[in-house]
Chain A
């Protein structure tokens, strides 16, 4: 069967499955809409959390990122999994015992303040919107590459599907679709990874395969180190960023992960406090299956990529004999080649191949060069090879294509390629749906029902929630079609916000009975303000990298913002009156599991 037909079958089949589940699990009450009725089994919730959490970034981008930056990629691997330890021990059980629907519920009630509630609502909405834009883009890329529709049509199809099950099914529909989506995405990630591990090393498990010794007598990692040095890259297994930067980045990602609203809200859906803990354990197992495979995929992918492009003799491969995947991704605009040394061969080495931001090529429409390659308008006039490297870099390879192109580079059967496409779509849609639900809950429940008009009936509230979901989907779709040119930076902002505001304010609310509203509000404002100011100054206002605080990059500053939040909140709370007795009773109460009952409305 042809690849196109298979891809249509796999993606179409998965859509039918999701829609079927959505119809079976429609929501009838606000409780079903917000927390799936509060009766989800911990294993099912663990899978749903894993699918919710593993976005297009985890599925499509992470292995590519690790592949290109080597050991420093550990900050993402540890940051995005270690956060679950914090979530399980510091947040999930207590928030479940608290037993409302949302983060603003907790912040507003615990700090007896509508101002604190409003800040929490704004954080929730900003974090979720920045995140969702990237997901819609991911759907668009997959559709445009595999189904030959343009990116915009792809985004619209993705919107329609999410619309169907998020608006109709609410949390209940989303939970059970996410269980199915987890199965699709993990299969799609593992099958090619196992194939590649078998091909490269003969080991079945990619986790073990990465440490294996190749026929050449060198281990995979030693081979990567050698290839990297030969081509002028830094050693694969050595760190490049400063230790303090990696430390802060890891801390910000961990606290950010634990503070992301769409992840936290999943723990409101289980029946008991005990289940919230167990569920975090299951979620991390399901996530770890993918995350521990990533280093293998990154390593094998990099070896395959370098050896395919440069050939075994490290002299390059002529463009005419390049495999089809190279040309396909070139047509999709994510690869580019310029024959600097005029030998007709494609050669890959360290350094930017083109004079653009991050070395990206600017294509001259559909014009072609003498070998049939896409013509590029921003080639360098006199590119120089790095010392000791026989040629200058001629290729731009977008990091995001690694996972999607891996099966083609490794010449796996067509059904594997189709499966990967379906998996990428599942990863993007499941996360998008979770985020959209959080946005609609924040608007209907926290803003309309709790702050603006507490008198609305449950039916009206449900209607507002659905309307808010519709508006949110349209806005998300708009960002998918017209992506801001800085999606990656914006996602860093989402983690920065979560780690510098949401995470500390909840932890203090549980572990410090003396914490009052003055302290919490001051802490959130300082944490949020400093983090946003730092990121905006260095990302958008052209701040000089030499002025970075201790050399900490914008992605890691959330950790500093978090520390500032804790300090300011503590000092301010000590100078102001303690919270009222009934608030202290709430804190006493959430610390003890018994009596959690069901997640309840006001």
Chain B
């Protein structure tokens, strides 16, 4: 595989990883935290209405998780295509 092909294969896998994580990011923040927040509020969650909890705390925990999963996916990808430093 030429360097050029290698680079574009790396890039398309990179885009797939980003798309996956950003979809979760979007669903958590905008769908659960904003659009459906009132319906989710009907579900109790450790003393919080669920929608309220996601919007004010839960989303932030998920963001932290997302970035660290992204970090580990990318480290593996860099090794796989031998583009790590």
Contact = CB atoms under 8 A, between A and B. Distances in A.
B35 A247 contact: yes
B84 A250 contact: no
A288 to B, nearest CB: 5
Interface residues of A, number: 52
Interface string A112-123: 000000000000
Given A219-B47, A292-B57, A277 B34 contact: no
B48 A239 contact: no
A201 to B, nearest CB: 10
A303 interface: no
Q: How large is the interface on B (under 10, 10 to 19, 20 to 34, 35 or more residues)?
A: 35 or more
Interface in A203-227: 207-208, 210-213, 219-221
A594 B60 contact: no
B71 A85 contact: no
A221 B48 contact: yes
A593 B85 contact: yes
Main secondary structure on A side of the interface with B = helix
Interface string A529-563: 00000000000000000000000000000000000
Interface in A150-206: none
Interface string A258-299: 000000000000001110011011001100100110010000
Contacts of A255: none
From B11, B57, B68, name the one whose CB has the most chain A CB atoms within 10 angstroms. B57
B85 A291 contact: no
B49 to A, nearest CB: 6
Given A221-B47, A243-B34, A247-B34, A89 B18 contact: yes
B56 A74 contact: yes
A211 B45 CA distance: 8
Nearest to A76: B56
Contact of B11 (A291, A591, A594): A591
A588 B7 contact: yes
B19 to A, nearest CB: 10
A229 to B, nearest CB: 15
B18 A593 contact: no
A207 B18 contact: no
B75 A274 contact: yes
B67 interface: yes
A77 B52 contact: no
Interface in B13-69: 14, 18, 21-22, 25, 29-30, 33-35, 37-38, 41, 45-49, 52-53, 55-57, 59-61, 63-64, 66-68
Given A74-B33, A82-B29, A237 B49 contact: yes
A88 interface: yes
Contacts of B78: 274, 593
From B21, B59, B63, name the one whose CB has the most chain A CB atoms within 10 angstroms. B63
By Cβ-Cβ distance, the 7 closest A-B pairs, closest first, are: A211-B47, A74-B55, A295-B56, A281-B67, A219-B47, A594-B83, A211-B46
6 contacts: A81-B59, A88-B67, A243-B34, A274-B85, A591-B7, A594-B85
Given A89-B18, A281-B67, A288-B60, 19 more contacts: A93-B74, A210-B47, A211-B45, A211-B46, A221-B48, A237-B49, A243-B34, A247-B35, A274-B75, A274-B85, A277-B70, A277-B71, A277-B74, A278-B71, A281-B71, A288-B64, A591-B11, A593-B78, A594-B85
